[in-house]
Structure 1
C-alpha cells in the first residue's frame, strides 16, 4: 500500500476560479455559455473602425436587388466574352491561356469549359459535352441554384430548394478529379477527351 501526500489536497487550485464559474451556469473559462456578456475578456469594448461602419451603413441602405443584379452582370460579362472571343477558333496559346496546359501540355480540370459554354450557347450539346462533360452536366443545376438565389434575394421568390449536402459535393469533386485524370491518359478511347 502506498501513502498519498494529502498536504496540497486541501489547498485550492490557483486557477480554480477560471475553470468553473457558478454564477454563469458552470461554464468553463469564466465566460457564460452564450459568449462574453460585455465584449472580449479584459472588459475593453471593441469599436468598429470607419470602414466597417461605412460597409454596414451601405449594406443597410442598399436595395436587396443590387447584389443579384451585380451577379447577373458578372455572368453576362462572362457570356459576352465567350461569344465575342469565340474560343473554338483561337490558337491554343492565345491569351488568356491555361498556365498548366501551356507549361505541361496537360488539360487542367477546367480546360475546355469556355469552349463548352460557347457550344452550349450555340445549342450544340454534343460538342459542348466533348469539350467538358462535367461542365455541361452541372450547368442546369448551377443555373437553377443561381436563379433560385437571385429570385429570393431580389423578389422574395420561394422556389423549391435543391439539397446540396457535403456527400454530394464530395462525390462531384471526386468525379471531377477522376475526369481530370482520365482525360489526360494517352490511350484510346481517353484521347477523345483531350482538348
Structure 2
C-alpha cells in the first residue's frame, strides 16, 4: 500500500496524478452512463425499471423523465429534454461546473470535501427541488409533467 508520504516523496507530479483520480473516475462513470442512456432508449418499455415513487403513488418524482431528457440531449434535442424534465436539464451544467471545480481543486492539491459548497446553496437546491416536485403534480403545473 502506498502512503501519501511515499507519493509526495516521488514528487508533485505523482501526487497531482493521484489527486485527480477520483474526479476522473467520476467523469468516466458519468460519461459511460450518459453514453448508455444515449444508446439504450428509455422511451422503449422494458429497458429501465419504472420509477418506484411513480409506481407506488402515481405521482411524478423530481427525477421522472430525467433519463428520457438525457437521451434527448445526447441526440441533440434540448427542447424535448426541457419538456421531459427541465430540472434535470438545468442541473446538468451546474453538475459540470461543480465537477470542474472539484477537478481543479484536486489538481491544485486543495481539498474539496464538503466545505466547498455554502449551506445556503444546498438548502436553495433542496427547496427548488421540493417546489418542482409539488408543482409538477398539481393541475396548474401539468406542463412540467414528463
TM-score (ref. length: structure 1): 0.58
Contact 2:23 2:103 in 1 (8 A): yes
Q: Give runs of aligned pairs for residues 8-157 of structure 1, distance below 5 A.
A: 57-58=1-2, 60=4, 61=7, 63-87=18-42, 89-91=43-45, 94-153=47-106, 155-156=107-108
CA distance in 2, matches of 1:140, 1:95: 24
**How many residue pairs align between the two structures?**
130
Q: Deviations over 1:79-103 (max 9, x none)?
A: 122112111x222x65322111122
Asked if residue 191 in structure 1 is aligned to residue 146 in structure 2, the reply is: no
Compare CA radii of gyration and give the structure with the larger one.
1
In 1, are the aligned partners of 2:19 and 2:109 still within 8 Å (CA)? no
Higher RCO, 1 vs 2 (CA within 8 Å, ≥6 residues apart): 2
CA 1:167 to 1:69, structure 2 compared with 1: closer, same or farther past 3 Å?
Answer: closer
The question of 1:166 aligning with 2:119 is answered: yes
SS of equivalent to 2:61: coil
Asked if the contact 1:148–1:157 (Cα under 8 Å) also holds between the matched residues in 2, the reply is no
Taking only aligned residues, the RMSD between alpha carbons, in angstroms, comes to: 2.5
Report if the CA contact (8 A) 2:38-2:70 is conserved: no
**C-alpha separation between the residues in 1 aligned to 2:61 and 2:109?**
37
Deviation at 1:59, TM superposition (A): 5.7
Q: Is this contact kept in 1: 2:40–2:47, CA < 8 A? A: no
What is the alpha-carbon distance in structure 2 between the residues aligned to residue 113 and residue 134 of structure 1? 8
Unaligned runs of 5+ in 1: 1-56
